[in-house]
Structure 1
């Protein structure tokens, strides 16, 4: 795991020292991604400079240092990530007649040799891993950029006049105000308010982009940038799978999935440094840890954090699972003060506005984990690929019921449901919850009922699901001089058919929410403390397998991840896992009315909002006052505004 950056002076007027100085400064901005070493490479004849910050994981010797040259000297690379199948590729590449041998045992050297023998795009298709790759082709004088299939590793780029720059994080580009204009894209701001992140390929800045998962591009010698081209497509995978749904007996399908998971986990445990895993006690992380223990020769190191607030605490569940599996478990109970102390660091860690509040506990557990290991496996991707969210299990049936209710009646019901404050709904459910069927028992019921009330006016299944996954339903009215750009829900060319609504929901989550929210959150939270994270569920073989699962192995009896549960219950008693799904969050709602109120009031002051000119002050203040009064739970709406405001303040936007 590393940080990469590069600068190309297309005018070719910069000398080597200037190019190296620019690259070094870009790398310094993201040094925590790779504190174990740094290196630069320049070619002043073509105006090229590359920077690499190393977090040493595989081949800790000097032979693993980057920038690295290929055997012939044609390719020079800076690369972030891991190629998990590099040992298999290494053996295959050695069969080339006249192969002279290896310098070291790094996956980077194998990657370059694959490009030498098979070509760039063919090499990409051979890799199983997570990566953001930059390669300068010294023969064709062009820059090649690529990103892994699922978007685990980030890669940003921008053309500013005669300068082209790229980096693992936006902060590497933002360091040079002379070359990089920090002009906020107001249309992207509107999209951010809807989703709590800016959907790729757009970013918060004009003329600055995020390379999409599974794609590559090329900057030619004349300065033209190739339209990013897919070398692998989740959409094609989903469409092809519709005609290849597994028809074998359930036991055979589940056994095959278990074997595949074991194979993937075993190779993702390869590391020359200490390795462990995040453990929440839920299905996904518990399954990853249980299978890791099957592959390990010693107890797996597992990590979790706990909170005193029972509504947000999973530590006891994780501890029970760890004890049963037999891991070497570490837990840390954090106080509200510990969590609140992270907030001033958020704009630096997430260097474009990002308001998934689970960023706070994710960073805390990463920081604690890094004190013991350098690599941690996670269960990320399990919910999206195997239908784990409540909206997957219940969303389709809920929509089928809603659409049959006349619109005027839906409006009346929505008004009645939202008129009762969330805390009052919570009291009702606490009183009568034990009498309700398990399908109606839920965590934070008041919040969920208000969410349902907000989407009851949807005119279509697409609008219903978009609103269900939105923070602000009317971002154009909240922002000034902005019009939300055509995002993932509007672009039907990037979607499968809606004939299978649950499958469509899963796809939309996997293609958008997963890389732009979940993986962005984990990457920044972990890399800020120099911790590498790996997500076995996101291996492309598992992704492709998941697309072919029959629906009853995804959802059974209103409960998702049926196939994963069947495997997990071979290793952990079912009663340890079965409980209402709990998100990984913190009580932002009460903090905004308490310890964060003064800070929030300053950022949301009417005069400040008016002078900065990004938001409709009346809309923001209304949401804020409703939240303070307890009339509505507007924590996510307010948090999105606060994260943008604090980001502007930190970066002097």
Structure 2
């Protein structure tokens, strides 16, 4: 694992602080024995666990800078940034103008600056939230780390579970920032920095997504620019390392694979995961992309036994409960690449959230059309006719009309959660009364509404994209891939998330992203002739895990799930009777649908067990 950790405002001397910072940093190198470098003062310390080019440390006159990543610094040339020159340049920038430090950085990074003489600190992460940072203020000190597993090792910030974090996890299948699963702990949001002084925290956004929504050039010029930015981004993400690419056969991964062949001047190493389960295997599209671009292709079929082996390991690598089952195939894909000598994988994440590729965007466009019908017509004519139609429950067309109106009448962004799994079951049916008394069941939707309101985009598609950059990408997909790769001792980079690519996407019009109901219209048109037509027109799928299907037939998987859910009963979070119904009646009714809840609850219990084993 890579990351950084530290604190300011605590300690009695450099010697004791050295012992403590090394203890805090241990989880950061737990899975791949990444080298750890640390610096300490009388009342502060910082450590970075990363391979040489990604670890930057500097200390002088009580000022400590620790940086994880390989970002670019505006106005600085390669000669200034060799070795720990980047950290020193950031120290100088801090002394000149503390508020401008973060805006001068581009690329993926986590940063801390500890100014012990002034009792001040700065924490920051990159614009997309590729790398994370948690923090907690306690007893006049600030403790921070890329992983909560490091923070809870500090004596001022022991682990205390926050019921709200657990509730949010079951609702979203992850814990969205700025919240965490620990009481008193929070996370920085993408493009955010934190200033700490005199025991007080002040957070601000140094960058946010702004959509121009006006065409500036004709589309032929835009397409040329896009292809050039793709080449630049893939070349930069490769970083001179032995690289490979995830290849699911979708538009994003296929694009990265093809561009990697182009800029590398040789067949790219590509890696795909398959499943021997009907409706889940997309290996044919990955093979199609590989043949089209001439990649050096590698495949692995994940089995139910692989899933059993991976579950406790996946739970261990995440610093809080995480319920996206796609982490399992991502891990096996990265591990396969590592066995070939690959040291960095390129992921296609971000394409959907920048260019309009998720199916819900077209669906919400259709629902939004109802809002354009005059209110008087809706209330006085349409809705009475549909909902009062004699025998309407027995007429398919009327049932569909009712469902459409009901969903279209829900305001955004709550409408996105119409089919939320926890909402369908009902919180009072899932959780115990005592647990619900300590959690706010309205908090998840309130947090969505808060994030949705932060965007000033004038179009629905761009408001949804801004929401997904945080909720879908930074809170879910990026941690999934980053942590799965960490478990496989693999670095990962995301070419679509380069600052240049993000800025380019913001200049496209709403129609260039969603043309009626046609998803990622400009993206596909720009790559027509480069990507195979079958991939451009295919339905979106991804690395979905057939967990529910396998759970019905594979005994070791059944035993692990049942043992996990039995253990969860004793924690008095989830109602025992709900668990019994879930693994009995519900799973039999619809394995895929209800299997998701089994997975989410199983991974929560496995996360608890891994943390208890580490402390024990």
State the superposition RMSD in angstroms: 3.3
Alpha-carbon contact 1:135-1:145 (below 8 Å) kept: yes
The match for 1:186 among 153, 158, 163 is 163
Look up the match of 1:3. Answer: 3
TM-fit CA distance, 1:254 = 2.2
Q: Which residue of 2 aligns with 1:37?
A: 35
Moved more, 297-306 or 23-32: 297-306
TM-score, scaled relative to structure 2: 0.86
For residues 483 and 394 of structure 2, the distance between their equivalents in structure 1, rounded to whole angstroms, comes to: 39
SS in 2 for 1:202: coil
Give distance in 2, aligned partners of 1:494 and 1:385.
Answer: 18
Which residue of 217, 226, 246 maps to 1:248?
A: 217
- The answer on 1:168 being equivalent to 2:172 is no
The CA deviation at 1:214 is 0.6
- Counterpart Cα distance in 2 of 1:414 and 1:583: 36
CA contact (8 A) 1:131 1:153 kept: yes
Question: Match for 1:225 among 172, 187, 200?
Answer: 200
Q: Is the 8 A contact 2:370 2:408 kept in 1?
A: no
Q: How does 1:36-55 map to 2 (within 5 A)?
A: 36-44=34-42, 47-55=43-51
Q: TM-score, normalised by structure 1?
A: 0.81
Q: Quick one: distance in 1 between partners of 2:283 and 2:58?
A: 43
1:548-580 per-residue CA deviation (whole Å, 9 max, x = no partner) reads 322332124633122221232232321244322
What is the CA-CA distance between 1:499 and the residue it aligns to?
6.1
> Number of residues paired by the alignment?
585
SS in 2 for 1:570: coil
Query: What SS is found at the alignment partner of 2:489?
Result: coil
Are 1:68 and 2:58 counterparts? yes
Following superposition, the deviation at residue 598 of structure 1 comes to 2.4
- Which position in structure 2 is the counterpart of 1:459? 410
**Aligned with 1:18 (options 12, 16, 19):** 16
| Residue-by-residue CA offset, 1:440-483 (whole Å, 9 max, x unaligned) | xxxxxxxxx9xx99985963343221334665454465332221
Q: Which range moved further: 564-573 or 517-526?
A: 564-573
Q: Superposed, which structure 2 residues align to 1:193-232 within 5 Å? A: 193-220=170-197, 222=198, 224-232=199-207
- 2:491 is aligned with 1:532: yes
Distance 1:370 1:409, change over 3 A: farther
Evaluate the alpha carbon distance shift between residue 413 and residue 280 of structure 1 in structure 2; reply closer, same or farther with a 3 A threshold: farther
| Alpha-carbon contact 1:190-1:475 (below 8 Å) kept | no
Unaligned runs of 5+ in 1: 59-64, 95-100, 418-448
Asked if 2 retains the 8 angstrom alpha-carbon contact of 1:29 and 1:175, the reply is no
1:523 pairs, out of 440, 457, 482, with 482
1:478 and 2:456 correspond: no
> More displaced, 200-209 or 538-547?
538-547
Look up the match of 1:350.
318
Aligned runs of 1:608-627 on 2, under 5 Å?
Answer: 611-627=570-586
CA drift of 1:399 comes to: 5.7
Structure 2 residues not aligned, in runs of 5+: 372-377
Q: Whole-Å Cα distance in 1 between the matches of residues 388 and 510 of structure 2?
A: 32
Instruction: Evaluate the alpha carbon distance shift between residue 28 and residue 592 of structure 1 in structure 2; reply closer, same or farther with a 3 A threshold.
Output: same
What is the match of residue 380 of structure 1? 349
Aligned to 2:130: 152
Residue 516 (structure 1) shift: 0.5
Cα distance in structure 2, aligned partners of 1:252 and 1:490:
37
CA displacement 1:426-446 (0-9 Å, x = unmatched): xxxxxxxxxxxxxxxxxxxxx
| Aligned counterpart, 1:645 | 605
Q: Provide the rounded CA distance (Å) in 1 between the counterparts of 2:458 and 2:119.
A: 47
Question: Please, which of 583, 603, 628 is the counterpart of residue 587 of structure 2?
Answer: 628
Q: 2:157 is paired with a residue of what secondary structure?
A: coil
2:579 is equivalent to residue 601 of structure 1:
no
| Corresponding residue SS for 1:90 | coil
